[in-house]
A and B are shown apart, each in its own frame.
Chain A
Amino acid sequence: MKFWVSALFGILIGILTAILVINMAPDFLWIQNGVWKTSIVAGSEQADPYTRAIVAKNYLYVLNKSEAVYFIATSDSEKELDRNCDYRIVGKDLPARWWSITVYGEDNFLIDNEHKIYSVTSANVVKRGDSWEIHISREQKGENWIPLRGEGKFYLTLRLYNPESIVYERLKEIELPKIIREGCR
C-alpha cells in the first residue's frame, strides 16, 4: 500500500514539474540577444525533448533554422510588454530575404482589431533611408502602425526568412530592432 502511495505521489510530482517546465520555457533553452530570444534548434530534428514540447505548445510548426529564424520579445529593456502602453520599435534593414514583426496576445494568437493590422513586413514598411520605426499603440501614430487592443500582456515575433549567414554566425550580437516604451495609461 505504502509503495503505491509513494508511486502515485512521485507520478504527480513528475507530471506537475513537466507541465511547469513546458509552461515556463526556462531561459537556458534560449539564445538571448538583448530583449529578443531565439532557439536555433526549434523545429529541427536536433531539438531536445524539452524544446520540442515548448515549441509544440507555443510555436507549433515553426520552420527550422535553414529556412527561418524566429526572435521573440516579451519585454522592453525594463518591463513586460503591456497593452496599456505605447511602443516604438526602431530598426534598420535586417539581414534576410524578408522579415516581419507580428504582435501576439498571451494566448499565442493575433490580437483582434478593426483595422485587421497585425504586423509590419520588409515589403510594406515605410523607411527613412535604411531605417524605420514601427508604432504599436492604441491610437494611430504615423506610418507603420500596429493597433493594440484589449488588456494584458503581449509579445512580438520577428521572423527572418532565408537569413544571411551572419545571422547564424552572430546570433547573440546582430543588431535587432530596439523596443522603446513611450508611455502607459
Chain B
Amino acid sequence: MIKAKGLAVIIFFAVLSHLAVVYAFPYVVVMSSYLATKDEVKVNEVYHQKPVDASFRKVVMPSPDILYSACVYDISRSDLLIEARVPKFTYWSASFYSLSTDNFFTVNDRMVGEKVTLMLTTNKSCMNEKCVVSPSERGIVIFRIFIPDKSLLPALEEFQRSIKCKEIPRS
C-alpha cells in the first residue's frame, strides 16, 4: 500500500515536472537569447545584422543568404510603429514572433507596396488595417531580405537601413 502511494507520488511529480520543462523551454531559450544580446540589441529599437557567416552565434540555423534585421519588443506600456521600404526585386518579409516563439503574423513583399507601415499592439479591439495584434507583450519581429547576388548587397542594405521600429504612446 505504501509502495503504491510512493509510486503514485513519483508519477505525479514526474508528469508535472516533465510538462513544466517542455512548456517553459521556449520561454527560457528566448529570454536567454535576449539576455545574451542585450548590449547590442535594444528593446523596441531596430537591430541590423550584417550578412551572417560561421562566426555568427546569436541564433541557431542562420541563413547566409538572408539579410536580417530585428526588433525585440516590449509593448506592455506602448505600441510599436514599424516602417520600412520594401524591395520589389527580391524576397522581403517581416515575421512576428510571440514570446512562446510562435510566428503569429508574417507579411512579405508580394502583400504590400513599396512602403509598409504597421502598428504592433496588444489591443485586440484595434480595427485599423495597420494593426498587428500580438498575443504576448514581449516578442520579436524579424525582417528578412533575400540576397540573390552579393553584388546587390549595397542596394539591399539601403532597404535594410530603412526599417524603423518606434515606441508610440497609447492614446
Measured CB to CB, the residues of A under 8 A from B are 2-3, 6-15, 17-19, 21-22, 43-45, 47, 49-50, 52-53, 55-64, 66-67, 97-98, 100, 102, 104, 108-113, 116, 118-119, 121, 123-124, 157, 159, 161-162
Majority secondary structure of chain A interface residues (helix, strand, loop or mixed): mixed
Chain B residues near A123: list those with CB within 8 A: 65, 146, 148-149
Tally of A-B Cβ pairs under 8 angstroms: 173
B99-121 contact mask (Cβ, 8 Å, vs A): 1 or 0: 01111101010100000000000
Measured CB to CB, the residues of B under 8 A from A are 2, 6-7, 9-23, 25-26, 29-30, 33, 52-57, 59-65, 91, 93, 95, 97, 100-104, 106, 108, 110, 135, 140, 142, 146, 148-149
Taking the nearest CB of chain B, how far is it from the CB of A146, in angstroms?
10
- A67 CA to B64 CA, complexed, in Å: 18
Taking the nearest CB of chain A, how far is it from the CB of B9, in angstroms?
4
Known: A18-B21, A43-B102, A97-B91. A59 touches B26 (CB 8 A): no
Nearest neighbor of A122 in chain B, beta-carbon distance: B148
Nearest neighbor of A45 in chain B, beta-carbon distance: B102
Determine whether the beta carbon of B21 is less than 8 Å from that of A14. Answer: yes
Chain B residues near A110: list those with CB within 8 A: 52-54, 56, 62, 64
Taking the nearest CB of chain B, how far is it from the CB of A50, in angstroms?
6
